[in-house]
């Protein structure tokens, strides 16, 4: 059995005089537009962050690979650089996942009908 969602207008109490305020289609469209703009910025910044983190991880791996393996200090540096590169790469994956979630949220807001505002 499927339940039908009831569309009930959402009233927001005005802070100044206590009257009830029902958002109009224009209010909902403006709110959605502002949300879309913010989510665009979030996705763009997360994309830049993940690219930088992946670049840093590659640089760390390159430094580790070019280290002279004969010295004890070089071996320690190599191990630490590899470990750090793995951690930074993991952060890049996390940033990429967050970017994907931000884009999915943006699509949900963009596709939400105006009548579901509230």
**Residue 61, pLDDT score:** 86
Residue 93, domain member (yes or no): yes
Residue 51, domain member (yes or no): yes
Per-10-residue mean pLDDT, the chain, length 118? 40 56 68 87 94 92 76 81 90 94 89 63
**Residue 18, pLDDT score:** 64
Q: What residues form DSSP beta bridges with 21? A: 12
Whole-number Å distance between alpha carbons of 107 and 100: 11
Which residues does 40 contact at the CB level (< 8 Å), separation at least 6?
A: 106
Which residues does 50 contact at the CB level (< 8 Å), separation at least 6?
A: 92, 93, 95, 96, 99
**Residue 8, pLDDT score:** 38
Angle between helix 72-111 and 25-65 (nearest 10): 160
Residue 37, domain member (yes or no): no
Residue 57, domain member (yes or no): yes
Residue 41, domain member (yes or no): no
Whole-number Å distance between alpha carbons of 92 and 58: 11
**Residue 65, pLDDT score:** 77
Residue 17, domain member (yes or no): no
Residue 53, domain member (yes or no): yes
Instruction: Quote the number of domains for the chain.
Output: 1
């Amino acid at each position: 059995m499927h339940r039908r969602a009831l569309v009930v207008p959402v009233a927001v109490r005005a802070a100044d005089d206590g009257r009830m305020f029902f958002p109009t289609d224009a209010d909902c469209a403006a709110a959605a537009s502002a949300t879309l703009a913010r989510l665009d910025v979030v996705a763009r910044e997360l994309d830049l962050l993940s690219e930088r983190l992946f670049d840093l991880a590659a640089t760390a791996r390159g430094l580790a690979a070019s280290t002279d393996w004969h010295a004890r200090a070089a071996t320690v540096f190599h191990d630490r650089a590899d470990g750090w590169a793995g951690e930074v790469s993991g952060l890049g994956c996390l940033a990429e996942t967050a970017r994907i979630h931000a884009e999915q949220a943006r699509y949900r807001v963009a596709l939400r009908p105006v009548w579901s505002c509230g």
